[in-house]
Structure formats: C-alpha cells, structure tokens
Amino acid sequence: MRKHIRCGKLFTGLSDKAEKDQTIVLKDERIEYVGPTADAPKAAAGDQTVDHSKHFVLPGLIDVHVHLAYGNAKTEEDIDIYAPVEYRALRGLEGAQRALKAGFTSICDPATSGLVSPSIRDAIEANMFVGPRISASGPQITNRQGLTDWYPTWIGVPSTAIGVLCKNAEEGIAEIRKEVKDGVDFIKIAMDGDAMNPSTTTVMAGYNQEEITAMTREAHRLGKKVVVHARGDEATLYSARAGVDVILHASFMTERTLEEVIKAGSMLCPSYLLVVNDIDFTRPGDGAYPGFPDAHKRELEAGSKIHNKAYKAGVKYLLGTDSGFAITPYGEWHAKELEIYVKHLGFSPADALKVATANNASFTRYGSQVGALEKGRLADVLVIDGDPLADITVLQDRSKIREIILNGDTVTLEINPKSHRLRSEFSYQMWNEIYDQKRIAELKRPGARAAAE
C-alpha cells in the first residue's frame, strides 16, 4: 500500500534547506518518491493520503549514545549491580520505546551488560515488539584507568557490569573475538575515565599506544568499527593514531591531537547532554553536588572551544546523549543535544539536524538505508508542528510531534503511564552525613537548618 504525505516543509537530511510544497510517497517500508507535490505520482484507489501541509517533515532522529542497560542509574552501582541482567533487558526495551516516542527511530548503544542491548535489538528486529532500530556493542573493554573498574580493586569488576576488565591487548583481543562471535555491531573501548579529577586534562589513558592500536586492528580485521570513550588528551591522541572510528567526548584534546583526529578521519561525538543536564539540574542534596557539576563546567568550557575548532575544520560529527542516567532519563532529553550543538559548539541548526540524521545513520548497522528522506531508503519519518531550523528546541517538545513513522508504519505505541521503577533497582543511600554530637549541636543552633538548606 502507498502512503502519500503532503509536507508543509520538508528537510531531507541531505541539504541545508527545508523545501515547501513537497510530497513524499511511501510504499510499504520504503520511500518511493520525494519531491515537488506538482510532480508527485497521483494517489491511486486504495492509497492513503495524509495532509501534513501545516507541518515540518524530517527523517526520524538518531541518537548514537544511549545505554539501555543503565536503567536511569543514580550511581555506578546501579549501572552494574542491582537489577538482574534479565530484568535489565526488559527494562531497556521500554527505555528504547521511550526514545522512539520522542522521535528517535534509531539508537546505538555503546556499552551494555552481557548481551542485553543486542538482545533488545534482535527482539525488535524480529517484530516481537515495537521499538527503534538498534545497533549495539557488548560490554565495554576497559582497564584500571578506564570506566567500570570504579570499585575497589578487592571487589573487582562484577560479571554483571557494563564493562569487562582487560588488562592488556591480549585480553582485549580475546574479548573482541568473543563479542564479535556473540553478534555485536561494533566494539566499545573505554580509553580513560571520567571528569571528576580537577586536573582532568591529565586524566590517564588506560591503554598505551601499542595496546589500542592492536585492539583496533583486530576489531577492524573482524569487520567491526571501534568506538572509544576518551575525555582526556592522551586517550584521544592514542585513539586517533590507532585509527578508531568514533571518539566519544574528546573534551580535553589539544590542537595537536585534533590534527591527528583529522589525519585519521575519526568521527567525534561529544555527548554533552549528561554534562549540560548535570550543570543545569543537579541540586544541593544530590550526592553529585557540587563536585560533578563543577567538573562538567570545566569540561564544557574546554570541550566547546576545541569542538568548535574541529567542526570548522570539517571533522565529521555524530550526535549522542549518554542517555540512561538519572540526569539523562530515556525519552526525555535526547533532542536537547541538538540545542547543545547549536548553543555551545557553534553548529548551524541545519548541520545539527544533518548530524542527528544522515551522519548518524552512516554509523548504524542500517547505514544509508536510513537517516534521510530519499527514494529507496527505509521510511523512518518524523512530523512536527514547528520549524527546527528556526528554533532547534522545538524538537524537545513531545506535544509538537504530529506523527512518527517507523519502517513505513505510523507508531501508535503508548508507554504505560503506570510504569515505575522498583526500589530494588537502586543502591540505597541511607544518610547524607554523619550525625555525631557536634553535627547535631550545629543543626540545633537556631537558624542552622535554614542556613544549611
């Protein structure tokens, strides 16, 4: 069956402009025609016609950095320990559905527990459930100075964690071979840690040059792309020299390292939603306050400058959000990353949209089958009431979404409003401070409580 859609404005993802008086025609799951309404094939008997002549039509959005196993985690322990892996798969499916309801028809997951995200991917592909198209890694490969090895050494990295401790290239290569056998779409390596250290520019790389080069070569030999987490300059430099495909964050890279990134052709994906939401939303009383937002202010300041330079130098960008934390819950803020690209990184709205559609598509397992409105591609379409080229924030307003089309079908899925989280999914912080006699005396002084709050 064909579906003829009259578009008020049409942004294909392949040019900077939105065109007026356009029509797209879908046949089953594919796009059959995109162009002026005057030249469009006429609707035949039995064809469906949809009037979006007052609306803005664009490709379904893509977020390449969503962690489906994290469950809107409040702590590192929540990410790795509390919910059983089997429960995380079911919970992650709902998280993916929430992203779809926000207009994101494809997502990529770099770092999961076990095979949680590849399994969600497969259940959706098998049409058991409605959800976005997913491309997924397995657990990230990490070392002592990287993510995930954040528990004391005597605890180690639990088997349910979103990473696997690989202490050298040999162990990393063995893990890569196992993950490729298990059907991952790409390999994720944590090249360094987080931004909590005040001297973040000196954050250590977890692997040396020879190790990341050897692991990247093996992943490429097995036909898989490599995505690294690298906030610091050292990790970014080694990753670029190793020829990795995507560098997440790269906030503290120097201009010398940027030159290596350009030479290698690696793509950059700053993923600043977590950084900006942490600055915007974290409050006194949150355990993260004020250390984490302060660290993220430093990161945003450094990152904005160098990413603006990289953007102007023509580096290819992807767009992702690090959704899956309590500060970046599923389905809520994905489109804010486009605003961040415009506001903090200096992108034009059209370029931010192209990154979130056509560029991102090139990284997914579907490649140029998705990400643009063009004859022959799969029909993933977003229709909104508003013009994101004039105001990029309109994409964040879910009440403005008029239609989401995935694989040619209108998404009618509803998230159960009674859906909620279980106490047992989260680590239980019982008290925020130690109530010794001195502290109680302080709290009892007149006006003390008010001053503390």
Question: Which is nearer to Zn ion, 137 or 407 (by Cβ)?
Answer: 137
Burial class (CB in 10 A: 0-12, 13-18, 19+), 431: exposed
Q: Which residue in the shown chain puts its C-beta closest to Zn ion? A: 322
CA proximity to 163, closest of 96, 228, 237: 228
| Binding piece for Zn ion, criterion CB under 5 A, among 140-148, 192-200, 318-326, 438-446 | 318-326
Which residues, numbered 419-438, are part of the site for Zn ion (CB under 5 A)? none
Question: Which is nearer to Zn ion, 299 or 322 (by Cβ)?
Answer: 322
d(CA 94, CA 130) in angstroms, rounded, equals: 10
| Total binding residues toward Zn ion, as defined by CB under 5 A | 1
Residue 15 vs residues 19, 191, 337: alpha-carbon distances, Å: 10, 35, 20
CA proximity to 382, closest of 438, 335, 327: 335
- Give the contact letters, 319-348, x = binds to Zn ion (CB under 5 A), - = no: ---x--------------------------
3-state secondary structure of 292: helix
Q: Can you say whether residue 327 is alpha, beta or left, with left for phi > 0 and alpha for psi between -120 and 50 degrees?
A: alpha
Question: Which is nearer to Zn ion, 79 or 338 (by Cβ)?
Answer: 79
Question: Which is nearer to Zn ion, 218 or 322 (by Cβ)?
Answer: 322
- Minimum distance between the CB of residue 29 and Zn ion, rounded to whole angstroms? 31
- Minimum distance between the CB of residue 237 and Zn ion, rounded to whole angstroms? 20
- Minimum distance between the CB of residue 272 and Zn ion, rounded to whole angstroms? 12
Question: Which is nearer to Zn ion, 295 or 350 (by Cβ)?
Answer: 295
Residue 5's CB: how many other CB atoms inside 10 A? 26
Cis peptide before 290 (omega within 30 of 0): yes
d(CA 139, CA 187) in angstroms, rounded, equals: 9
- Minimum distance between the CB of residue 18 and Zn ion, rounded to whole angstroms? 32
Can residue 380 be called a binding residue for Zn ion (CB under 5 A)?
A: no
CA 95 to chain centre: 12
- Minimum distance between the CB of residue 77 and Zn ion, rounded to whole angstroms? 17
Dihedral pair phi/psi, residue 223, rounded to 5°: 85, 20
d(CA 98, CA 91) in angstroms, rounded, equals: 11
Question: Which is nearer to Zn ion, 211 or 322 (by Cβ)?
Answer: 322
| Binding piece for Zn ion, criterion CB under 5 A, among 143-151, 316-324, 326-334, 385-393 | 316-324
DSSP code of residue 65: -
d(CA 315, CA 23) in angstroms, rounded, equals: 33
Total number of residues shown for the chain: 453
Question: Which is nearer to Zn ion, 322 or 337 (by Cβ)?
Answer: 322
Name beta bridge partners: 23.
Answer: 6, 35
- Minimum distance between the CB of residue 332 and Zn ion, rounded to whole angstroms? 16
Question: Which is nearer to Zn ion, 227 or 302 (by Cβ)?
Answer: 227
- Minimum distance between the CB of residue 279 and Zn ion, rounded to whole angstroms? 17
- Minimum distance between the CB of residue 322 and Zn ion, rounded to whole angstroms? 4
| Residues binding Zn ion (CB under 5 A) | 322
